[in-house]
Amino acid sequence: MDAKEKILSGQTALGIEFGSTRIKAVLIDLDGNVLAIGVYDWENSLVNGVWTYSLEEIDRGVKGCYGSLRKEVEEKYGVTLSTTGSIGISAMMHGYIAQDKDDVLLAPFQTWRNTNTQESADILTELFDFNIPLRWSIAHLYQRILDKEEHVNHLAYVATLSAYMHRKLTGKHVIGIGDASGMFPIDSEKLDYDQRMVEQFEELIKDKGYAWKLREIFPKVLVAGDDAGSLTEEGAAYLDETGNLKAGIPFCAPEGDAGTGMVATNSVGPRTGNVSAGTSTFAMLVMEKSLSRMYREIDMVTTPSGYPVAMSHANNGTSDLNAWVKLFAEYSELMGQPVDIGRIYEALYTNSLDGDPDCGGLLAYGYYSGENITMINEGRLAFLRTPNSKFNLKNFMRVNLFTSLGAVKMGMDILMKDEKMKVDRIMGHGGFFKTKGVGQRYLAAAVNAPVTVMDTASEGGAWGIALLAAFLLREDKAQTLEDYLEKKIFSNLSGSTIAPTQEEVDGFEDFMVRYKAGLEIEKKAIEVMDWE
């Protein structure tokens, strides 16, 4: 059966992922091969101190992304996309979307980028004896309670972006366990929210007199392979404005970008790990045993099947790096010699390989927003050097690439140096690795271990959620996700592995000494730079 026949007969799976700067749709066949891609670029906004996207932006984005995919199918195969075998929705994890029983948004959507929940996170961490990061949904909910926001009285649904969109398309208020683990702590044995902590939270807010209970407003937890509903008539009309998409398509559970990153890198079993590097950067190691103690720098989440995962999550990744690259593109326009921005990325990234191992004494911070790992609660962007620093283009780009991994390395050092976690492989994926052999080499130096990047790495989480949708259709329903990925999807895929040299490892460690020392400058910048 060729690709056209697979599309016409629905022998396909569709994944749509809401990233921070791009919504991406990937249509695959049931062997994981990419048939078509759709994209829609967008950007969050800082409104009244809150990082957010409006519901109107979300509507335009998903429709525009699906429309882009539909057009590619028409142009590439000459057919109209009317059905798929299954669909999956994923999105950036965490945050807070609150609606009443009539689906009215009660407060601005707060994304993972917001760090206005310090008081709440501190109280809940102490109460649960479990790290509750600032961006988790339960931290946002409890902060709204502490702030006495009136809308909390009217809650009917609290969701992440993936769970919100899933309910919009299927009518089901459910969530994949990986995304759920960024809302509330998970019991990996019962594959559900931790009941002891649910009861502790209910006791904490008992005197408020709310009509709702936590399990009533949070989505129901599902695992990979579970039936999560199907596309409704309303959902089909909403997603495809041409009216050609048919209702009834089954959905897998909506997942977060951490979970889809694990799937896209085949890092869902114990002793596997991956680093997803883009607008935010997070490293995840699937655990064999529990950590020796709680760390505020480390999130405890799960794979889409429910295995416990230790995650080092940095709010900031390549946003400032991208801004610098755009500056060089603007310069090429100014000089009357415009260059495709893809070529600019490749040239600047590749040239950085010739820089000094420690970036020549330069220092940079791409903190567009607060950074939980370094306990910096507001964003300030900085590039710093001394008169003795070796300031040239290759070192400038190298330091901006290094700093994209700076915060996440601090968490990884806890796991690999302090906790001595063992991993058989570390996989990299995301835009940071798009230029061959550059980001991959720097990550290898940061973790002092070989790093593998698959040829599919640039497809990222959208491909990952498409695979989870395809997993729903597997013939052997008893087959595990780990076995399915290993034997069905990744057995024939190729990639490359880079091991770091000792000079590269030492250079990154020298950079990290400056990175940690310079955090005091970031704190002072928050005090001084208070203008809009």
Query: Does the structure show a pLDDT above 80 at 455?
Result: no
The model's pTM: 0.83
At 422, the pLDDT band (50, 70, 90 cuts) reads confident
Mean pLDDT across the stretch 133-139? 95
78 dihedral zone (left: phi>0; alpha: psi -120 to 50; beta): left
User: How high is the pLDDT of residue 494?
Assistant: 80
Query: Does the structure show a pLDDT above 70 at 220?
Result: yes
Instruction: Find which of 366-375, 424-433, 435-444 is predicted with most confidence, using mean pLDDT.
Output: 435-444
User: How high is the pLDDT of residue 459?
Assistant: 66
3-state secondary structure of 410: helix
Note the pLDDT tens digit of each residue in 262-308: 999 899 999 899 998 888 888 999 998 889 999 988 999 999 999 99
At 493, the pLDDT band (50, 70, 90 cuts) reads confident
Note the pLDDT tens digit of each residue in 174-208: 999 999 999 999 999 999 999 999 999 999 999 99
**Contacts with 315 (C-beta within 8 Å, 6 or more apart), sequence order:** 112, 113, 115, 135, 280, 369, 370, 371, 372, 407
At 456, the pLDDT band (50, 70, 90 cuts) reads low
Query: Does the structure show a pLDDT above 70 at 466?
Result: yes
Bridge partners of residue 381, in order along the sequence: 366
At 444, the pLDDT band (50, 70, 90 cuts) reads very high
- Percent residues over pLDDT 70 in the chain: 99
Note the pLDDT tens digit of each residue in 10-43: 999 999 999 988 999 999 999 999 999 999 999 9
Mean pLDDT across the stretch 479-486? 95
User: How high is the pLDDT of residue 228?
Assistant: 98
Spatial contact of 214 and 201, defined as CB atoms under 8 Å apart: yes
Mean pLDDT across the stretch 448-473? 88
**CA distances (Å), origin 438, targets 202, 403, 451, 527:** 49, 14, 11, 36
Q: Where are the domains of the chain?
A: 319-403+503-528
Query: Does the structure show a pLDDT above 80 at 457?
Result: no
Instruction: Give the containing element (helix H, strand E) for 13.
Output: strand 12-18
User: How high is the pLDDT of residue 372?
Assistant: 81
Query: Does the structure show a pLDDT above 80 at 532?
Result: no
Query: Does the structure show a pLDDT above 70 at 58?
Result: yes
Mean pLDDT across the stretch 330-347? 96
